[in-house]
Structure 1
Amino acid sequence: MSDIDILHQMIKDSAKLSCDKRVVLTEFEEPDSSVSISGLPKEIIVIKADAFKSPDTVFNGSFGECRRADYVIVAEKKKVILCIEMKAKKGSEKEIIQQLTGAQCFIAYCREIGKAFWEQQDFLEGYVYRFVSIGHTSIPKRPTRISRRAGVHDSPKRMLKIDWPHDLQFNHLAGVRKN
């Protein structure tokens, strides 16, 4: 069974977005705040990570450990896990880092569930993470501005920052070449 098949069995439909070659992501608290991503590969799942209930009944949350990014996109053939946080305007970098880190922890939890309950020891292994913060999603569009630190956006602290997004391309966000 493929990783995407397992994730589709594991994750409720209400926490997934249907997509074909394009998906429109909407910020939960700001319905007018959205961004579209085109060029999606075939073997993919888009998860509303924020739909996962906050673990604040167990954790104190004093270090941001109860936070999660808005979306996680898992692309099996490209072996990429894309964590995306959206902000209608501009958010605190510290909070965005915590949210992206929380999304990574959410996927780590899913990985362990797949290994234990689906008995797939290589479930979600060999994937690379990419972290993206998308800001100013509800403001009338200005030219897209992209800022990135040196190197690949493979950790929450080195996230790819995009402001005033127009139609974004999956391969650009994922930092992968077309296959």
Structure 2
Amino acid sequence: MSEYSVLVSLINDVAVIPVQDDGYGNKTLELTEVDAPDSSVEIRHVPNDLIAIDVDRNFSNDGLVSSSRGARKRCDYLLLSAQMQCAVSLEMKRENPSTQTEQIQQLTGTLCVFEYFDALLRNFYKEDFLGQYARRFAVLRHTRIRRRGTRSQSPVLHDAPERALFLCGQTVLQFGQLARPNA
């Protein structure tokens, strides 16, 4: 069974955001922030095998974990691609009400969800491929503002929540901006 097939069999269909065809043979993904329908981002040129998981709406550890130190936080989406061997944790902020520390906690919480998937695959499916995926972390701020893309921060290896890629005011992105080490 392919990595994609294994992931599809693991993840509940309800939690997956469908990838769309843009009419030109490319795939796009439209993501909307929970409780803010005017806050959205379009990600273009996503891999054919992309699985976009709506973590914020579909994963809860509230009944199990205390809220101290941000352990119950998680970001909005987790994007997985076997083709690119990449996992992108993505947090969207309509405005900027939370602190950078809280945003890092959300990204860290989603890293824990990713590691949980990895443990499920290893223990129940006898598959061990997620551990080799590159992990990327990004926060999209001010996603309500409709304007042309602005320059992002200096290229950074965004492979840990503390070194996340922060983009402001961009509502259209290329998947490569999120998945590659240097955006």
Whether contact under 8 Å (1:65, 1:102) holds in the other structure is yes
Identify which of 167, 175, 183 aligns with 1:162.
Answer: 167
* Counterparts of 1:89 and 1:69, CA distance in 2: 15
* Counterparts of 1:9 and 1:147, CA distance in 2: 37
Identify which of 116, 121, 131 aligns with 2:123.
Answer: 116
Measured after TM superposition, the shift of residue 142 of structure 1 is 5.4
* Counterparts of 1:6 and 1:81, CA distance in 2: 15
In the alignment, structure 1 residue 92 sits paired with structure 2 residue 134:
no
Measured after TM superposition, the shift of residue 119 of structure 1 is 1.9
In the alignment, structure 1 residue 104 sits paired with structure 2 residue 111:
yes
- Residue 68 of structure 2 corresponds to 62
Q: Unmatched 5+ residue regions in structure 2?
A: 21-26
* Counterparts of 1:58 and 1:29, CA distance in 2: 24
* Counterparts of 2:101 and 2:42, CA distance in 1: 25
> SS at the partner of 2:94?
coil
* Counterparts of 2:58 and 2:116, CA distance in 1: 11
Measured after TM superposition, the shift of residue 83 of structure 1 is 0.5
- Residue 14 of structure 1 corresponds to 14
* Counterparts of 1:28 and 1:145, CA distance in 2: 26
Whether contact under 8 Å (2:143, 2:171) holds in the other structure is no
* Counterparts of 1:3 and 1:15, CA distance in 2: 18
Q: Unmatched 5+ residue regions in structure 1?
A: none
Whether contact under 8 Å (1:145, 1:164) holds in the other structure is no
> SS at the partner of 1:74?
strand
How many residue pairs get aligned? The number is 175
* Counterparts of 2:6 and 2:160, CA distance in 1: 25
How well do the aligned residues superpose, as a CA RMSD in angstroms? Answer: 1.7
The amino acid of 2:102's aligned partner reads: E
> SS at the partner of 2:9?
helix
Identify which of 40, 57, 62 aligns with 2:46.
Answer: 40
**Identity percentage of aligned residues:** 35
Question: TM-score, normalized by length of structure 1?
Answer: 0.91
Measured after TM superposition, the shift of residue 98 of structure 1 is 0.6
- Of 133-142 and 42-51, more deviation after overlay is shown by 133-142
Measured after TM superposition, the shift of residue 176 of structure 1 is 5.6
> Which 4+ stretches in 1 moved above 2 angstroms?
51-54, 139-145
Whether contact under 8 Å (1:144, 1:166) holds in the other structure is no
